[in-house]
Amino acid sequence: MAHRGGSTIDFLANQGLLAVKILKFLAPAVPMTVAVTVLSFALALFLGLAVGLAQITGYRPLVLLAKGYVDVLRGIPLLVQIFFIYFGLAGFLNLERFAAGVLAIGICYSAYLAEIIRSGIESIARGQHEAAASVGMSNIQAMRYVILPQATRVIIPPAANEFIACLKDSSLVSIIGLRELTRAGREFYSQYFVDFQTWLFVGVVYLCMTLLLTRLTRHLERRFAVRGFGTSVRR
Amino acid sequence: MSASRNHLMVHDGPALRARGVTKRFGSLVAVDSVDLDVAVSEVVVMLGPSGSGKSTLLRCFNGLERLDAGVIEVAGIRLDPECDSIHDVRARVGMVFQQFNLFPHLNALENVALAPRIVRKLSKDQAMAEARQRLERVGLATKLDAYPAELSGGQQQRVAIARALAMDPQVMLFDEPTSALDPEMIGEVLAVMRDLAESGMTMIVVSHEIGFAREVAHRVIFLDEGRILESGSPDQVLSAPRHPRAKEFFDKVL
C-alpha cells in the first residue's frame, strides 16, 4: 500500500473512511446470505433426516436409493450442482435465482447431513433398542423417545460444522446473480477498484458470522448435555 | 392393547409356555428345541456354562431373538415377532439386562415413567406418581432426579427393575442381573428380586448366583449346548445332579 502523498494520519483516516464505506455497502447483502444459509440448511436437515433414517430401515430398495442419493450428491462439486439446477434444469422448471440457490445448497448438504445423522443413530448402543423394545415400545416410539434424543447429542457438533460450511458455501450462489455478501463485494470492487480492502472486509464479515455460529453451537451442546454422561459440560 | 395387563388376569395355563424353541446363529444351534412351562408365581433359575444358550433362550421369551422354530406363549398369547402384537406381548414381559441399559438421557423417574406414558398412555402426572412409588419400592426414594451416570451399578439395576415393573408385567426375565456389579452391590439387587419373588411375581432368572437359586428358586434348570439337561428343585439339581455335564459344572462352581 503506497502512500499516495499526504501524511500517515491522512492515510489512516482515508483507510478508515474506506472501511466504513465498504461495510455500509456490504451490510444490505448480509440478510440475503443469512436467508440462503438458514433456508438451505433447514431443507438439508429435513432431507438429511429422511435419507439418514431411510438408510437404517433395513428395507433394501429404500436403503440402496438413500445410499445412491448420498454417493451421487457427495461426488459432484456444489458449484456444478448450482449450475445444473439453475441453468441445466431451466428448460423444465424455471426457478428463481433464490429458489435455485437454496434448493442446490439444501440438497447438496442433505447428503452430508444424512451421513452424520445415520452414523449418529448407529452410534447408540444396541442395548438401548432392546431396552426400548422390551418395555413394549414400537420401533417408531423407540426412535423418537430413546434413540434420537441420544443421537442428537452426537449429531450436534458435526452438524454445526456443516452449518458453518453451509454459510461459507452460500457465497457460491453469487455466481448465479443472487445479491448476497460475495456478490456485493464484487460490485463494490467493480465500482471502486480497491481489491485488497474489499475482499479483506468481505472476509471479516463472514468471519464475524461464523464466529457467532461457533458460539451458538457451544450453547446447543451445553443445552443437550446430560449430567455426568459422556461429557464434561454441565447444564 | 385391549386385554388386561393385570397379572391376576384369569388364565388357566402356565404364565409362559415354550414348545420346540430353536434358535440358530449361522451353523451354531444356540437353543435346541427347548420345551418349558413356567407356572404363575413360579421362580425359575437357569444355570449353565457360558455359551450354553441360557441368555439366548431368555431373549427368545420376549421376542428379542427371532425363533427359527417353535412356539412361545405368554399368558396364553402367542408371541410372534413378525406380528405387530409383539409390542403388546413384550409389554407383559419385563426384562432386566446384565448391562442395565437404562436410558442415559433421562433421570431415574423419567426412565421408569416413559413406557407407562407412551405405551400404556397414562397421563404424565399419573405415570410420574406411579414411577415414584416403584422407585420407593426398590429403595431409591432419594434418587428420583439422578441420571443413570450418577448412580452406582446396584442403583442402576434397581432402577432397571422398577422400569420393567412399571408395565405391570406377568413375567419378569432377568439376564444375569448381577454379573456386571461390584460384589458389595450384588446383595441390594438380589434383595429386591427376593421381595419380588415373595410378592408372587413369575420370574425366570439367568444367573450365576447359586445362593440365590438355592434360597429363592422353586425350580433350577441346567442348560448346556442349547438343551435343558436338568430340571428340578434347587436341592435336587444343585446337590444331586444326574447328568454328567451338570455334575462337572456344579463341581467347579460350588
Measured between beta carbons, the chain A residues lying within 8 angstroms of B104 are: 150, 226, 229-230
- The Cβ of residue B86 has, within 10 Å, a number of other Cβ atoms equal to 17
Provide the 8-state DSSP code for A178.
-
Q: A94: left (phi > 0), else alpha (psi -120 to 50), else beta?
A: beta
Q: What is the ipTM of this complex?
A: 0.89
- The Cβ of residue A6 has, within 10 Å, a number of other Cβ atoms equal to 10
pLDDT over 90 (residue B79): no
Cα nearest neighbour of B168 on chain A: A135
What span, in angstroms and rounded, lies between the C-alpha atoms of A100 and A177?
Answer: 11
User: Which is more confident, A94 or A97?
Assistant: A97
Cα nearest neighbour of B106 on chain A: A226
Cα nearest neighbour of A135 on chain B: B91
- B90 to chain A, any CB pair closer than 8 A? The answer is yes
Asked if B103 contacts B97 with a C-beta cutoff of 8 angstroms, the reply is no
pTM equals 0.82
What cell was used for B183? 460384589
Confidence tier at A91 by pLDDT (50, 70, 90): confident
What cell was used for B11? 388364565
The confidence score (pLDDT) of residue A227 equals 64
Chain A residues contacting B, CB < 8 Å? Answer: 125, 127-128, 130-138, 141, 145-146, 149-150, 153, 226-230
What cell was used for B218? 422353586
Confidence tier at B219 by pLDDT (50, 70, 90): very high
| DSSP assignments along A105-170, one per residue | HHHHHHHHHHHHHHHHHHTS-HHHHHHHHHTT--HHHHIIIIIHHHHHHHHHHHHHHHHHHHHHHG
Confidence tier at A222 by pLDDT (50, 70, 90): confident
Q: B78: left (phi > 0), else alpha (psi -120 to 50), else beta?
A: beta
- B99 to chain A, any CB pair closer than 8 A? The answer is yes
A215 CB-side CA count, 13 A: 5
Cβ distance of A130 and B101 shorter than 8 Å: yes
Dihedral of the alpha carbons of B141, B144, B146, B149, in degrees to the nearest 10: 80
What cell was used for B20? 420346540
Asked if B115 contacts B160 with a C-beta cutoff of 8 angstroms, the reply is no
CB-nearest partner of A130 from B64, B88, B167: B64
What span, in angstroms and rounded, lies between the C-alpha atoms of A59 and A106?
Answer: 25
Average pLDDT along chain A: 91
Average pLDDT along chain B: 90
β-pairing, B219-224 with B227-232? antiparallel
Asked if B111 contacts A136 with a C-beta cutoff of 8 angstroms, the reply is no
Task: For chain A, report the end-to-end CA distance as a whole number of angstroms.
Answer: 50
pLDDT over 70 for what percent of chain A? 93
Report the residue of A126, A129, A134 to disrupt the B interface, i.e. the one with the largest count of B CBs within 10 Å: A134
What span, in angstroms and rounded, lies between the C-alpha atoms of A127 and A134?
Answer: 10
Cβ distance of B105 and A141 shorter than 8 Å: no
CB-nearest partner of B164 from A130, A135, A146: A135
The confidence score (pLDDT) of residue B2 equals 39
Q: B95-128: per-residue pLDDT in tens?
A: 999 999 999 999 999 999 999 999 999 999 999 9
- B87 to chain A, any CB pair closer than 8 A? The answer is yes
Sign of CA dihedral B58, B63, B67, B73: positive
CB-nearest partner of B149 from A134, A137, A229: A229
Collapsed DSSP state (helix, strand, coil) of residue B28? strand
Distance from CA of A59 to the nearest CA of B (A): 15
Q: A34-58: per-residue pLDDT in tens?
A: 999 999 999 999 999 999 999 998 8
Q: A103-149: per-residue pLDDT in tens?
A: 999 999 999 999 999 999 999 999 999 999 999 999 899 999 999 99
Asked if B48 contacts B223 with a C-beta cutoff of 8 angstroms, the reply is yes
pLDDT over 60 (residue A2): no
Cβ distance of A228 and B95 shorter than 8 Å: no
